[in-house]
Amino acid sequence: MFLVLLNAFCSLLLGYSSGAKLPDPEVKIEVLKKPFVCPRKSKYGDMLLVHYDGYLESNGTLFHSSRKHANGQPVWFTLGIGEVIKGWDKGMKNMCSGEKRKLTVPSALGYGKEGKGKVPPESNLIFEIEVLEIRNGPRSHESFQEMDLNDDWKLSKQEVKEYLRKEFERHGYTANDTQNEFMVEDIFKKEDEDSDGFISAREFTYKHDEL
């Protein structure tokens, strides 16, 4: 269980996708519901909690509904990092908590030539998505500032270690120093690109080249 959690954190901290550049098909965005009050809008790197229904555009078949399938639980994902289909990454920026959109996603920004599960190859998709909550993602500027305890715009090993310790505690685990050291070393190996012993803001934030 502990290792599973470690892996989850590692992929949160380290994961960003790399993808080849493609020509730009468009997602059609329709706003179905917008809350009156919107203190914060979604941006790349944020974590979004959503309920959604996914339909095939060709015949209107509902292929997935978060309310009806998989225990009816809403799902969390991080926006803009390739964790979800490109149609979502492109179509869900600047959303408010409580906003509902209809996205018409061309196959190339969905499951493409292969299809997936109940989605046949080359399917255009229609999603109705409602955002229930928006949180700072692990790669947001807010997270960076939170981790950068002495405000010098770079993260020392000590600062990353302290952050991991707090994250474990927040999730109800006692920090294990040896594991923690190991994770910090691993993180720096991958993230400290210029090997100066610090993770800079530029090294920290997501690369968005593919979007």
Q: What is the nearest approach in angstroms of Ca ion to the Cβ of residue 149?
A: 6
Residue found by looking up tokens 């269980």 in the block: 1
| Tokens standing for residue 70 | 């998989």
SS3 content of the chain, % helix, strand, coil (to 5): 30, 20, 45
Whether residue 200 contacts residue 33, with contact meaning beta carbons closer than 8 Å, is answered with no
Choose the stretch contacting Ca ion; rule: CB under 5 A; options: 31-39, 138-146, 161-169, 193-201.
Answer: 193-201
Query: Does 148 help bind Ca ion (rule: CB under 5 A)?
Result: yes
Query: Does 133 help bind Ca ion (rule: CB under 5 A)?
Result: no
Q: What is the nearest approach in angstroms of Ca ion to the Cβ of residue 173?
A: 25
Q: How many CB atoms lie within 10 A of CB 146?
A: 13
How many residues line the site for Ca ion (CB under 5 A)? 7
Q: What is the nearest approach in angstroms of Ca ion to the Cβ of residue 206?
A: 16
Choose the stretch contacting Ca ion; rule: CB under 5 A; options: 86-94, 106-114, 136-144, 152-160.
Answer: 152-160
Query: Does 194 help bind Ca ion (rule: CB under 5 A)?
Result: yes
Q: What is the nearest approach in angstroms of Ca ion to the Cβ of residue 37?
A: 35
Query: Does 146 help bind Ca ion (rule: CB under 5 A)?
Result: no
| Tokens standing for residue 32 | 């179905």
Query: Does 73 help bind Ca ion (rule: CB under 5 A)?
Result: no
Query: Does 24 help bind Ca ion (rule: CB under 5 A)?
Result: no
Query: Does 196 help bind Ca ion (rule: CB under 5 A)?
Result: yes
Query: Does 185 help bind Ca ion (rule: CB under 5 A)?
Result: no
Q: Is 154 helix (H, G, I), strand (E, B) or coil?
A: strand
**3-state SS record for 25-93:** CCCEEEEEECCCCCCCCCCCCCEEEEEEEEEECCCCCEEEECCCCHHHCCEEEECCCCCCCHHHHHHCC
DSSP summary character for residue 12? H
Q: Which is nearer to Ca ion, 176 or 200 (CB)?
A: 200
Q: 1, 43, 21: which is closest to 174 by C-alpha?
A: 1
Query: Does 152 help bind Ca ion (rule: CB under 5 A)?
Result: yes
Query: Does 46 help bind Ca ion (rule: CB under 5 A)?
Result: no
Q: Which is nearer to Ca ion, 114 or 152 (CB)?
A: 152
Q: How far is CA 128 from the centre of its chain?
A: 19
Binding site for Ca ion (CB under 5 A): 148, 150, 152, 192, 194, 196, 198
